[in-house]
Structure 1
Amino acid sequence: MHPIYRLLHPYFRYTMEINAFAREKLINAGGIIESCFSAGKYSMLFSFVVYDQVWRFDMEALPADLIRRGLAEEDPNAEHGLKLAIQDYPFANDGLILWDAIREWVSDYVNHYYPHTSTIEDDKELQAWWTEVRTVGHGDKKDEPQWPVLNTHENLIQTLSTII
């Protein structure tokens, strides 16, 4: 089994089941979202428009998300490298502790299995998986410049940490 598969498997294990349940109960026509949200039958349309205009993979990691939403700014001298706009914000405070732990774990893992940058670039299975994520999983956004290239330890670590 591929080492990246082994790393990500626990995080994807029930994804298909959860997504099927969501399609059946939450996001279907007349489902919970349409019946409970004030936008009614237009709720999913609004969600699609927001996804189309706002979603970027490179902005999904917690630190980048906090910065994008104006809740933090980069500060190399601050804890986690961020100065929070709201000091008592449990989502950010606790989330950044988890983010750092995930990133450290992924960093150790990647550095163990990929001792040299060339081993990342030459891993055809890894590169094919990442191509499929971008071109099939997000085919509507496949040509956008937001996608990292998996050619360095830092890019691979950031990508895997974001996914987790």
Structure 2
Amino acid sequence: MIKKRGGDFGKQRILPIIAGSIAPPITGALIDWYSTGLGYSDYTPAMFLSVAVLLVSAALVIRLRFTVEHTENRMAADLKRLMTKKEVNALLILAFALGTNWGFVSTYLFPFLKTLEAPNSVMGMALLVGNLFSVPVIFIGDRIVGKFGCHTIFITAFFVYAFREFIYTFFR
């Protein structure tokens, strides 16, 4: 649909990023408010909010009218051709390593913050801050890659993850 209407996929990603920035602090505050006096965090508001958003989204998707273009069924041949290229394999290894770091942070950051007795609203703010940095990059990403190149971007990403995880070690 984006290609058909002349859009830019990268810029289409801005709304999910904004939503992913706004929803966690609000949900964290709701959880803190709902859990006041309980002695533990009750995540019921997060579950109800999630179900509500999913139901509204489902209602909107039902109203969408779009078609899927069918292409030649050469997927296996194209995949085999791609997997024999060293550059593609190197990219996949780098993406796997960066994804592993992302998975590590997204899996263990919040239990770590919980051991520090951080309120849920602070955890929501952590997502807000992290996501806000990606919004301007969406608009200038092409220029950044054009100026510095893919290699520099990957190396920078590795160092940023390492720095971020190093900084977390000082939280106690």
| Alignment TM-score, normalising by the size of structure 1 | 0.30
Larger radius of gyration: 2
> Higher relative contact order by CA 8 Å / sep ≥ 6: 1 or 2?
2
| Alignment TM-score, normalising by the size of structure 2 | 0.29
